[in-house]
Amino acid sequence: MDLYPVWLSFQVATSATALTLLAGLPLAWLLARRRFPGHDLLAGAVVLPLVLPPTVLGYYLLLLIGSRGPVGRLLGTLGIELAFTWRAAVLAACVGSIALLVKAAEAGFESVDPRLEQAARTLGRSEWSVFWSVTLPLAWRSVFAGTTLAFCRALGDFGITLMVAGSIPGLTQTMPLAIYDHVQANQMHEANVLALIAVAAVTALLMGLGRLARLRF
Amino acid sequence: MRRAALALLLLSAPVSTAAAPPAPQPFTVYAAADLTFAFKEIVPLFEKAAGARVTLVLGSTGTLAKQIENGAPADVFFAADSSFVDQLQGQGVVIPESRALYAQGRIVLATALTTGLDLRTLGDLARPEVRRIAIANPSHAPYGRAARQALESAGLWERLRPKLVYGENIRHTLQFIQTGAVEAGIVALSIANAPDIRYAPIDPALHQPLNQVAVVVKRSARPELGLAFLHFLNGPEGRPIMKRYGFLLPGEF
């Protein structure tokens, strides 16, 4: 049987988690450490993807990045196709999971005693250096927990991916979509195998990461 | 600190190597869910005959149409009715000259053998043993729309409404019946021929004909292959298979 969806899903979830960290960590830091107009609005907007039903969210995202959408057209002029490619699956997984990272990291950053950061600044550290040497190491566990949650959510995304990436076998059909497809075609054996692989792989991964999390930074 | 940065790096490292795009797929057929079983037989035959690899994407006609409208990489689209193809034609995303009727669908009243129920007519759905009835979502699945029309024509729609459960597409609807989640349902004849399903025909006069239309998508890089698939389906190799799955074929109705 075709195990490509498993491979694709892990690629997509890994890429999405990297993207989520890249965008989510600065966002979480901003929400935790800065006050600015629209702060609360942004804090609310971050969790919206968790509130909207995934397929609905996916539909709006498709209107944005599809060949007729503003973003899709812009990318099209640059020769980049986003909708219905594996990149769209990455974007979908990222949109679906970023709130989990941001919320956890924000709480982590807030729990860091500002006086420690202040002390680093008096010693001449730049804001960048303060973040990497004081804030992040102290908030490490929360960030780690958020990252793990985001990865798992990215791996399991169904609705958003279905809408923006389609369910194209061998191209954008991720593991959750493949399992759903097998179930609907009454191929229960294939569905069970894929589900079992997914559960086993993630369990092993989380056990490994759990050990990593106990390390001190 | 260095180790934290390293961990971050490790997390993002696989991206560059792992995210290499898979090889481009040459030819993609978007097909309504009622074609699931028939196309699983026809597609391999066509692949052999045409020497091309076919990627088959199945879903509800409405969802697939929405995706094609927004640039999905479909070469040819087999809809479960004509209205969605009309819409796509209006938007100029399909080639109007390629449009062809390839089948007429039928709906049936289906129950799982395990329920022990023997339902013959739509009126039987009102029986108290039938607690839940599955139909495909009438707002975007053509077979759901036909099911609703049939129930309305039979004067049962309002009465049965509290019992109705909507499947996302016709395969999903069948799944509700097969798993015993519902006692009965209205599905396409083309997918009802399963060993664990008992079904009875529904008078086609009760609903608008399910004229199934296919069309080649304008952005297709290989429109000739799309047309060839359409001809194959309507030809001596495709027709017997479609017939076996209970479709009425062009020229027979």
CB of B8 less than 8 A from some CB of A? yes
Range of the domain at A50: 8-168
Put simply, the answer to whether A168 touches B73 (Cβ < 8 Å) is yes
For A133-155, how does the pLDDT look when each residue is reduced to its tens digit (9 = 90+)? 999 999 999 999 999 999 999 99
For A183-200, how does the pLDDT look when each residue is reduced to its tens digit (9 = 90+)? 877 788 999 999 999 999
Q: What is the mean pLDDT of residues B152-167?
A: 94
Any domain includes A89: yes
Strand partners, B165: B134
Does A20 score more than 90 pLDDT?
A: yes
Any domain includes A45: yes
Does B12 score more than 70 pLDDT?
A: no
Confidence of residue B139 (pLDDT cuts 50, 70, 90): confident
Any domain includes A216: no
* Among B12, B55, B72, beta carbon nearest to A18: B12
Other residues' Cβ atoms within 10 Å of the Cβ of residue A90: 26
For A201-216, how does the pLDDT look when each residue is reduced to its tens digit (9 = 90+)? 999 988 888 887 777 5
**CATH classification of the domain holding B49:** 3.40.190.10
Per-residue model confidence (pLDDT) at position B7 = 47
Any domain includes B133: yes
Any domain includes B187: yes
Other residues' Cβ atoms within 10 Å of the Cβ of residue B236: 7
Q: What is the mean pLDDT of residues B45-56?
A: 94
Sheet with B94-105, edge to edge strand ranges = B54-59, B27-32, B76-78, B210-217, B94-105
Nearest residue to B187 via CA among B151, B136, B148, B142: B136
Any domain includes B16: no
Put simply, the answer to whether B4 touches A17 (Cβ < 8 Å) is no
Residues B142 and B169 in one domain: yes
Closest residue on chain A to B4 (Cα)? A217
Put simply, the answer to whether B15 touches A217 (Cβ < 8 Å) is no
CB of B56 less than 8 A from some CB of A? yes
As a whole number of angstroms, the distance between CA A17 and CA B15 comes to: 10
Least confident segment among A184-188, B3-7, B186-190 = B3-7
CB of B57 less than 8 A from some CB of A? yes
Put simply, the answer to whether B55 touches A86 (Cβ < 8 Å) is no
Per-residue model confidence (pLDDT) at position B20 = 45
Does B61 score more than 70 pLDDT?
A: yes
For B143-155, how does the pLDDT look when each residue is reduced to its tens digit (9 = 90+)? 999 999 999 999 9
Residues B84 and B166 in one domain: no
Residues B139 and B171 in one domain: yes
Q: What is the mean pLDDT of residues A77-104?
A: 94
| Percent residues over pLDDT 70 in chain B | 90
The domain tally of chain A equals 1
Residues B228 and B157 in one domain: no
Distance in Å, alpha carbon of A47 to nearest chain B alpha carbon: 23
Confidence of residue B13 (pLDDT cuts 50, 70, 90): very low
Per-residue model confidence (pLDDT) at position A166 = 87
Confidence of residue A67 (pLDDT cuts 50, 70, 90): confident
Q: What is the mean pLDDT of residues A11-31?
A: 97
Residues B51 and B94 in one domain: yes
Any domain includes B251: no
Put simply, the answer to whether B15 touches A15 (Cβ < 8 Å) is yes
As a whole number of angstroms, the distance between CA A29 and CA A42 comes to: 13
Any domain includes A119: yes
Any domain includes B87: yes
Any domain includes A55: yes
Residues B37 and B80 in one domain: yes
* Among B21, B55, B71, beta carbon nearest to A67: B71
Q: What is the rounded average pLDDT for all residues in chain A?
A: 92
Distance in Å, alpha carbon of A32 to nearest chain B alpha carbon: 20
Does B9 score more than 60 pLDDT?
A: no
CB of B2 less than 8 A from some CB of A? no
Q: What is the mean pLDDT of residues B198-203?
A: 95
Put simply, the answer to whether A184 touches B14 (Cβ < 8 Å) is no
- Amino acid symbol at A3: L
Put simply, the answer to whether A170 touches B22 (Cβ < 8 Å) is yes
Confidence of residue B45 (pLDDT cuts 50, 70, 90): very high
Both structure tokens of A102: 């941001």
The domain tally of chain B equals 2
Any domain includes A197: no
Least confident segment among A1-5, A114-118, B44-48 = A1-5
Q: What is the mean pLDDT of residues B212-225?
A: 94
Per-residue model confidence (pLDDT) at position A28 = 97
* Among A10, A166, A171, beta carbon nearest to B22: A171
Higher pLDDT, B172 or A135: A135
Per-residue model confidence (pLDDT) at position A216 = 59
Q: What is the mean pLDDT of residues B213-222?
A: 95
Any domain includes B46: yes
Per-residue model confidence (pLDDT) at position A185 = 75
Q: Which residues of A touch B19 (CB under 8 A)?
A: 11, 14-15, 86, 90
DSSP code per residue over A133-171: IIIHHHTHHHHHHHHHHHHHHHHH--HHHHHHHTT-TTT
Residues B79 and B123 in one domain: no
Residues B178 and B239 in one domain: no
Residues B98 and B115 in one domain: no
Does B18 score more than 90 pLDDT?
A: no
Residues B136 and B173 in one domain: yes
Residues B97 and B111 in one domain: no
Residues B113 and B169 in one domain: yes
Does B5 score more than 60 pLDDT?
A: no
**CATH classification of the domain holding A157:** 1.10.3720.10
Both structure tokens of A77: 């002029």
Range of the domain at B131: 107-201
Any domain includes B85: yes
Does A5 score more than 70 pLDDT?
A: yes
- Amino acid symbol at A157: D
Does A182 score more than 50 pLDDT?
A: yes
Q: What is the mean pLDDT of residues B148-164?
A: 95
Per-residue model confidence (pLDDT) at position A181 = 85
Per DSSP (E only), the strands in B61-209 are: 76-78, 94-105, 107-112, 133-136, 164-167, 184-188, 197-201
Per DSSP (E only), the strands in chain B are: 27-32, 54-59, 76-78, 94-105, 107-112, 133-136, 164-167, 184-188, 197-201, 210-217
User: Which of B27, B57, B75, B175 is the best mutation test for A, with the most CBs of A within 10 A?
Assistant: B57
Residue found by looking up tokens 């074609």 in the block: B35
Nearest residue to A50 via CA among A108, A97, A105: A97
Any domain includes A176: no
Confidence of residue A156 (pLDDT cuts 50, 70, 90): very high
